[in-house]
Copies of this chain bind each other. A is one copy, B any other.
């Protein structure tokens, strides 16, 4: 079971959709913990907190449902309709071979965290997140730009108190960011910085770093660092990474994986931007690294 947690508009759906495609959609069940809102949009107007507050969500039911899914049991999942802000009729969710859980919460309590094999936290710079949020909420959720800004300001204290602390519990922290100060750059050119905590083994790292190092320019960099005081590996991949360099790095991870005939190598790095299908080397490597971890967890589960 993979958890992808992050504040709103941090790219959770983009990441999880790509991972599901690589794994093979028919054996992946994806759910979103935003569906566990207690109140609809109208009711929330009367309330002193935002959806980022635990009291605004059925936290104990998130825990219960994660446990049931981790045990292979079906759940009747509530539905929050993001477009209209309503709570709709629930749906039956049956766990497939792989479970992907995305949302604001997921690593909040220990019982939740204990359900996951791989925990990913999305952590883009705030200005990038704001740009993404405006693009999405104005385009698809019937908000105005002013409403989005007011919403961000209102949410900030709760984001700090309840969402961002979950970063500490992630195995992998993912930060996509534009190469320069211009936010309006094609997302396929974004750099990525991955913080890799030693809670998972990464047997491909040294190999990738040495194989992709060139005399003049290192588009993929690997370093030992501290994150909030704790030792971590950091993997940085530039958006300008040449296709063949990205491909050779992907190949190193790919070779360590169990090819079961369902994995789709052609989906690596693909993402949708509006109606456009794009490819990103940094995204591809990030996806593949997470898929490797999921597959390893599953192999441990199958053979243990």
Chain A interface residues toward B at CB < 8 A:
36, 38, 40, 58, 60-61, 64, 68, 73-76, 78, 86-90, 92
CB distance from A266 to the nearest CB of B (A): 36
Option from B64, B86, B89, B92 in Cβ contact (under 8 Å) with A61: B92
List, in ascending order, chain B residues with CB within 8 A of A64's CB. Answer: 68, 73-75
Q: With a 10 A CB-CB cut-off, give which of A64, A78, A87, A90 has the most chain B CB atoms.
A: A90
Asked if B61 contacts A76 (CB within 8 A), the reply is yes
A218 to B68, CA, bound (A): 55
A–B complex contacts, Cβ < 8 Å, 13 sampled: A40-B89, A58-B76, A60-B74, A61-B75, A64-B68, A64-B74, A64-B75, A76-B76, A87-B89, A87-B90, A88-B89, A89-B89, A90-B90
List, in ascending order, chain B residues with CB within 8 A of A38's CB. Answer: 92
Looking across the interface, which residue of chain B has its beta carbon closest to that of A65?
B76
Looking across the interface, which residue of chain B has its beta carbon closest to that of A73?
B64
List, in ascending order, chain B residues with CB within 8 A of A61's CB. Answer: 74-76, 92
CB distance from A140 to the nearest CB of B (A): 22
List, in ascending order, chain B residues with CB within 8 A of A58's CB. Answer: 76, 92
CB distance from A152 to the nearest CB of B (A): 27
Looking across the interface, which residue of chain B has its beta carbon closest to that of A60?
B74
A78 to B40, CA, bound (A): 16
